[in-house]
Structure 1
């Protein structure tokens, strides 16, 4: 009997933001009427090794593959794995991206997939600029996790706590830890009652950042660096122990930890730019002013020509100081934040979005009209269709330049 099988590919067992997002979104889908398989990969520096090799698939089955793997990891993934293509297979890439441009080598990867899912309108605008294929917004699920009351692993001694969480291997320049440290020290260096916790992982693997953070924070007991793999429960306990979560980022595809802190009833402060605007506004959080900058030369992961937000440090200092001075009067902000996440990013809401889209694809496939599923004329969800003809002309020019560059290099 013909069946539609959904294979969800991700590094589910990894400690990272994308693995966390994949685990959460998979839980929203696994109880649907589709047969849903979790395909886990172990990831080393240069390879993705599939750990599920015993899947039984009937010759008549229709297959929808969801690849929740970073776009910059796809070349590494392809060293040991293939993206299968046939009339009975539909391939979806689930990607986030933090900048308004894609590098040329990433543009070529779009051809491997029939559809792209993204977690925010910011990402949707980026990918729709380069692809005529469907670009569908499926935000990340923010799970409500119930844990028993217990003290966090670190003793805070009744301090007022600002918290920021980041991966030391996830473009520190984009996370702008430098700016946050400067802002905090300028604001609270003479206040012994306030601390900043920088929770990270993999710091030992980024020796340059390790040296820099050590130098910046030495002789400042008010800044605590935690470099440790926490369980989800331990991370939630840490968020629960803080008063305010802060991210002076330069760009975000979504901003998972910001949303998690909002759900945990925290005052959240973030740069008013990019993917976090999917859930942050002036009624439920504090948005920091910024100046939009275009990078004039390559610097790590931020390449020449990329746009990013440079947070206004003076405004940031005022916001942090205001939150500290008025914390007891900000209950409405916290309540609005929690309601935003509960109402728009729940398991049911995100699950229904995925199920609706997958059902549409499945129906086309079963009718033998898989090309209709890929036809952008039918994708009313895609905001790209609202843009004018100039965007299409720009898209064609970009693709032609990529082809010409490739041929020239060869």
Structure 2
């Protein structure tokens, strides 16, 4: 791939799950010994502003662009950016999606890209049902990060800690925070040594959710609400401080924080539906059964016709209580969880997956160029043959005319 340039486009400096995934997968790709350009975008209002980055000269070679900009942001991205449409470019969209259907406006975006990468089999099935182009599963890298132990920003004083992390702008209804709060309070109504930490960000930008969460948690000493931008290390330290990570989600494209908690040797509880089944099973976590429902009308980001899982809260209560009562006996589950992430979602494995796919794309480029070259060679050969045929025809015609004229002259002389 010496003559191929790879550009990785993302909002690398943003605090969000998408940006975190982009940073991790870019690191995995760099680790696979490929030369990759990092193209960072800053969100300003409705626009994505590209930082001034000097990209390598392609020397008329191939260009592979990976656009790790989520599908619901592409329309805004296109306000002042273009998807490379040059004949020597190959464009990949890296998208996660949580539901069984795509909006019409999203379906139209598929034609802009030559290929789609997704982090889970769940996402792969969704996009493959709409696109005739390749849909390739490239999971997220879950990287072990070294942090100082016992350095969490929250003083927990020997309490048993359940933790849930979410972005307040990332479809709260999908994350089902209300269901988790009610589940926790019903399970531990009078227990003083158990707490639930709700770690969020951007809560002030979602006024409805802000009001609801403040109302639901203001008189609950057992619930700690944190709305603050944490560094990656601070977030990992918070995960390290908990005993169990909980997500009673209705749909997930992947479930990055669930996987991170598993890597940190935690008991993870999650709805048995969607992208998190890429790494969660009954041997390494606790899966909450659910009822699959279909939305009968639009509700925020969840549109009419979307399927979603409604977790069984009664079953979830039993699981929370079981984890609390038997925590010391759950070492096998924690170990299985950690080994699953280490074995399948390492920097080496994810980097090799991306490298292998990019090498195949590069071969497609070469085959395409060889076909074009062969066509050109065939055209040149055909032109030469035609020219020779014309010359031969002209020569024969000249001889024929000359013969006729000679015969005519001889006849006249008689």
- TM-score with structure 2 length normalisation? 0.88
| Displacement of 1:33 | 4.2
SS at match of 2:326: helix
**Aligned equivalent of 2:391:** none
Deviations 1:291-313 (A, max 9, x none): 00100000000000000000111
**Aligned equivalent of 2:148:** 148
**Aligned equivalent of 1:328:** 328
Alignment check: 8 A CA contact 1:169 1:206 kept = yes
Q: Which entry has the higher C-alpha Rg, 1 or 2?
A: 2
**Aligned equivalent of 1:181:** 181
Deviations 1:367-409 (A, max 9, x none): 435999xxxxxxxxxxxxxxxxxxxxxxxxxxxxxxxxxxxxx
| Displacement of 1:171 | 0.4
**Aligned equivalent of 1:310:** 310
Deviations 1:319-360 (A, max 9, x none): 100000000000000000000000000001000000000001
Show structure 2 runs of 5+ residues with no match.
373-414
**Aligned equivalent of 1:282:** 282
| d(CA) in 2 for partners of 1:304, 1:42 | 32
| Displacement of 1:26 | 0.3
**Aligned equivalent of 1:222:** 222
| d(CA) in 2 for partners of 1:131, 1:10 | 23
| d(CA) in 2 for partners of 1:242, 1:370 | 57
Alignment check: 8 A CA contact 2:262 2:338 kept = yes
SS at match of 1:246: strand
SS at match of 1:275: helix
Report the CA distance shift for 1:223/1:52 in structure 2 as closer, same or farther (over 3 A): same
**Aligned equivalent of 1:203:** 203
> Is 1:49 aligned to residue 74 of structure 2?
no
SS at match of 1:167: coil
SS at match of 1:339: helix
SS at match of 1:287: strand
> Is 1:212 aligned to residue 200 of structure 2?
no
Report the CA distance shift for 1:370/1:203 in structure 2 as closer, same or farther (over 3 A): farther
| Displacement of 1:87 | 2.4
Structure 1 moving runs of 4+ over 4 Å: 369-372
| Displacement of 1:229 | 0.4
| Displacement of 1:30 | 1.3
Deviations 1:92-134 (A, max 9, x none): 0000000000011100000000000000000000000000000
| d(CA) in 2 for partners of 1:352, 1:187 | 44
> Is 1:40 aligned to residue 56 of structure 2?
no
Of residues 16-25 and 149-158 in structure 1, the stretch that sits farther from structure 2 once superposed is 149-158
RMSD of Structure 2 on Structure 1 (CA): 1.5
**Aligned equivalent of 2:295:** 295
Report the CA distance shift for 1:370/1:39 in structure 2 as closer, same or farther (over 3 A): farther
**Aligned equivalent of 1:375:** none
> Is 1:360 aligned to residue 387 of structure 2?
no
Deviations 1:20-42 (A, max 9, x none): 00000000111444321000000
**Aligned equivalent of 2:249:** 249
Report the CA distance shift for 1:268/1:333 in structure 2 as closer, same or farther (over 3 A): same
Show structure 1 runs of 5+ residues with no match.
373-410
> Is 1:112 aligned to residue 100 of structure 2?
no
| d(CA) in 1 for partners of 2:190, 2:371 | 64
| Displacement of 1:2 | 6.4
| d(CA) in 1 for partners of 2:370, 2:153 | 52
| Displacement of 1:84 | 1.3
> Is 1:29 aligned to residue 2 of structure 2?
no
Alignment check: 8 A CA contact 1:94 1:117 kept = yes
Deviations 1:118-158 (A, max 9, x none): 00000000000000000000000000111222421110010
**Aligned equivalent of 2:7:** 7
| d(CA) in 2 for partners of 1:76, 1:345 | 31
| Displacement of 1:366 | 2.8
Report the CA distance shift for 1:2/1:121 in structure 2 as closer, same or farther (over 3 A): closer
| d(CA) in 2 for partners of 1:34, 1:367 | 21
| d(CA) in 2 for partners of 1:122, 1:114 | 20
Report the CA distance shift for 1:132/1:157 in structure 2 as closer, same or farther (over 3 A): same
SS at match of 1:126: helix
Alignment check: 8 A CA contact 2:255 2:276 kept = yes
> Is 1:67 aligned to residue 90 of structure 2?
no
